[in-house]
Each structure stands twice: as C-alpha cells, then as structure tokens.
C-alpha cells in the first residue's frame, strides 16, 4: 500500500473541508492547540499528542480542529521512518488517524 499517497489524499480532503467552513475567530484557538501538539511531537510524545487531539475533537467537533489535525499529521508525515519508530508511531497510524478524523466529521 502506498501510505504516502493515501496520507496526502486524506490531508487534501480534510483541508478542502476546512477551507470551506473556516472562520477567522477560530484561528487563535487553532494556533494554541497546534502549538501544544507540535511541542509534544518535538518532545517525542506523538501518541500522547494524538490522544489529546482526539479528546479535543470528540469534546467538540469544531471545523478549526480539522486544521489542527492536518498540521499535526503533516508534521508527522515529514518525519522519517526512524524518527517515527523511535516515538512508537508509523505511517499506517498517520493514515488511520486521518481516516478517524474523516469519520468523526462525517466525511467517510
């Protein structure tokens, strides 16, 4: 399976939805959560960051959180295999996480 193509396809679909419904007032909240998650990724806490992302999304499915998820998974997509493996994560988990967001937002 071509994980990179699947991941890119899911990222594009999520970004398209996000752009349709984007509202400026959500940007501050979006930036706040994106920074938190990316700091966790930087610290090697990918699984914990993903759990935080989904806890946030399940609490309230705001459209701004789609972009937070895209930023999170785009960052992971740019990591090499060794970095992901060191953090206990895989390309398959990136694709699955994107699919879960799509399901949560009724895109699948």
Model confidence pLDDT, tens digit, residues 26-57? 777 888 899 999 999 999 999 999 999 999 99
Kind plus residue range of the DSSP H or E element containing 88: none
Task: Note the pTM of the prediction, 2 decimals.
Answer: 0.77
Q: Is residue 39 part of a domain?
A: yes
Q: What's the burial of 104, exposed, middle or buried (CB within 10 Å: 0-12/13-18/19+)?
A: middle
Q: Is residue 47 part of a domain?
A: yes
Between the alpha carbon of residue 66 and those of residues 2, 18, 24, 80, the distances in Å are 23, 6, 14, 23
Contact at 8 Å (CB) between 54 and 102? no
> Both tokens of residue 28?
């501050």
Provide the number of structural domains found in the chain: 1
Q: Is residue 25 part of a domain?
A: no
Residue 96 lies in domain: 3-20+31-104
Q: Is residue 88 part of a domain?
A: yes
Q: Is residue 53 part of a domain?
A: yes
pLDDT under 50: residue ranges of the chain: none
């Amino acid at each position: 399976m071509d994980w990179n193509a699947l991941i890119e396809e899911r990222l594009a679909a999520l970004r398209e939805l996000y752009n349709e419904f984007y509202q400026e007032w959500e940007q501050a909240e979006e930036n706040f959560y994106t920074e938190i998650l990316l700091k966790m990724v930087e610290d090697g806490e990918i699984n914990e960051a993903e759990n935080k992302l989904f806890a946030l999304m399940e609490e309230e499915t705001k459209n701004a959180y789609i972009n937070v998820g895209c930023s999170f998974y785009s960052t992971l997509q740019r990591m090499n295999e060794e970095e992901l493996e060191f953090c206990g994560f895989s390309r398959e988990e990136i694709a699955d996480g994107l699919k879960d967001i799509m399901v949560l937002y009724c895109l699948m």
